[in-house]
Amino acid sequence: MATRSILIVDDESAIRDVIAAALEMAGYRALEAGNAQDAHSIIVDQKPDLILLDWMMPGTSGVELARRLKRDALTQEIPIIMLTAKGEEEHKISGLDAGADDYITKPFSPRELVARLKAVLRRSTPAGVDTVVEVKGLTLDPTSHRVFADGSELKLGPTEFKLLQFFMTHPERAYSRSQLLDHVWGGNVYVDERTVDVHIRRLRKLLGEQYKTLVQTVRGTGYRFSTQSPESL
């Protein structure tokens, strides 16, 4: 399994250094940002597996950045742990309301931080989600975020990748558009069901002639991923 990357967002470089050392000792790859703007660029470019986010920063606060990330379909599933010197209950609730998955009050021990981080990563990674899936020459590798058709890499967008991953790990069953929205986009995202049709068309086009028939339309229901021809079902 690929080394997981953790983004540390804190305006104090000394704190970043201590956390980065602890993370690297535990086998993680540490990324660093001193403000929300730099953090957002790193998040979009590198898609870290988890974000350690300081509550108080000059300019855009950690809470504001957390809300922004949770509103964006491309970043909303990245788990966030808030780091703050504020221990009052209302601040903890505000952080969780903003979308944080956990909350650690400074000062904390690096050992505690790594333990909490591992727990959040376990909760946010469903069983089997990091397993390579192969169906009739079509291979999906979640850890490298790559898809191969007979050894040649296909360039899928993030949503098409998640859609294909869901289909390949849940084959031979029909799903309605609303079910696909819940499973792939997340139940807290409000998008039109026709969005599913758009991404299905895009996915089929990217899969090419040989594999597009695996993503089948089930009239009156929705879609299914199947190695059988529609006529034989």
Q: Where are the domains of the chain?
A: 5-124, 133-232
Q: Which CATH number applies to 133-232? A: 1.10.10.10
Closest alpha carbon to 199 in 183, 219, 220: 183
Give which of 151, 150, 147 is closest to 163, Cα–Cα. 147
Confirm whether 5-124 and 133-232 share one CATH topology: no
Tell me how far apart the alpha carbons of residues 92 and 82 are, in angstroms, rounded to a whole number. Answer: 9
**Among 24-33, 122-131, 155-164, where is mean pLDDT lowest?**
122-131
Q: pTM value?
A: 0.56
User: 209: pLDDT confidence band, cut at 50, 70 and 90?
Assistant: very high
5-124 is classed CATH 3.40.50.2300: yes
- Is the Cβ–Cβ distance between 69 and 76 less than 8 Å? yes
